[in-house]
Amino acid sequence: MKNSHFISIKNFSKKQIEYILKTAEKMEDIIHSGTDIAKNKILGSLFYEPSTRTQMSFSSAMYRLGGNVIGFSDPKTSSKTKGENLTDTIRCVSNYCDIIVIRHPLEGADMLAAENSPVPIISAGCGTKEHPTQALLDLLTIKKEYKDINGLNIGILGDLKYGRTVKSLTYALSLYDCDLNFISPPSLKMNKEVLNYLNEKNIQYKEFKDVMDVINDLDVLYVTRIQKERFPDPTEYLKLKGSYKIDLSTIKNVKESFIIMHPLPRLDEIAYEVDNTKHAKYFKQPYYGLLVRMALISLILGLIE
């Protein structure tokens, strides 16, 4: 892992991913005891799109490792406003830091950054393609709840077309032996690129329009919001708004051990009344996000074996 870029789950083996997750679990001790293993190391945090959790958890992870963080969370305050291109920014910023975390709205921006950076690049979400560190924390959440990901029946609900977390999660789950169910309005189905990837690997999946057709058989339901900001036509968004919702009546007959996850932010797709049920795990995920980001930074910077 040392010095690797982390921009697609597809570039990593199951063994490597499992190793990151194992390292993440060990980070729990470090949070309590404190450490300075990243002393004198600087993380560059370049967020060209809004973020609450991902940006703050990368910063928190670096500070908890004893390192420092520089960067911006609003690209308007960067030289992008003056017209600077990403390549030039990366060439310069890489002098100031040992590792760069980047979130960008354009597909391929993460690759372009990696091609032009002498220091490792971690994607914090790129366009509609991937959000690889979210997939790590999603896997860790499932592992913490169920111990084994193999054998689980997993539903992924929502905007599968424009959402990026669902793509990285699907690539990650394809490394395990679990049942995949994609549930979405017809116009927001999982895109061909991901389905072709599964087909090539001979991985079975099912597609549903209505969550009620499958929810009572699921072990995990991963819910996502409709990605309003990515719709070319706002009227299309308005037609789909509110087209699915998980509330107490939806989960009335689910399995005892059934869990609901969400990368957040949540809008109206999970009713607040669900938050206090034993099934809701979406406010535990951000904690696991901190652990996996601490692990990833440590492994990539070679701070631990």
Q: How many angstroms separate the CA atoms of 96 and 47, rounded?
A: 16
Q: Judged by CB under 6 A, does residue 184 bind ligand NCD?
A: no
82 labelled catalytic:
yes
239 labelled catalytic:
no
Residue 120 or 263: the one with the smaller Cβ distance to ligand NCD is 263
Report 237-266 residues binding ligand NCD (CB under 6 A). Answer: 263-265
Residue 282 or 303: the one with the smaller Cβ distance to ligand NCD is 282
164 labelled catalytic:
no
Whose tokens are 């001790």? That residue is 29
From the CB of 125, what's the least distance to ligand NCD, in Å?
5
Beta bridge partners of 189: none
Q: How many angstroms separate the CA atoms of 6 and 300, rounded?
A: 9
CA 304 to chain centre: 23
Two structure tokens written together for 297: 């930074």
CA 68 to chain centre: 23
Q: What would you measure as the largest C-alpha separation in the chain, in angstroms? A: 56
The DSSP 8-state label assigned to residue 303 in this structure reads S
103 labelled catalytic:
yes
Q: Judged by CB under 6 A, does residue 125 bind ligand NCD?
A: yes
Q: How many angstroms separate the CA atoms of 19 and 174, rounded?
A: 17
From the CB of 218, what's the least distance to ligand NCD, in Å?
20
From the CB of 192, what's the least distance to ligand NCD, in Å?
20
Do residues 5 and 121 touch, judged by C-beta distance below 8 A? yes
Complete DSSP assignment for 109-131: HHHHHHHT-SS-EEEEEETTTB-
Per-residue contact flags (x/-) with ligand NCD for residues 44 to 83, judged by CB under 6 A: ---------xx-----------------------------
Q: Judged by CB under 6 A, does residue 225 bind ligand NCD?
A: yes
Select from 8, 23, 89, 165 the one that contacts ligand NCD (CB under 6 A).
165
250 labelled catalytic:
no
Chain positions contacting ligand NCD, by CB under 6 A: 53-54, 125, 131, 134, 164-165, 224-225, 263-265
Q: Supply the residues annotated as catalytic.
A: 53-54, 82, 103, 131
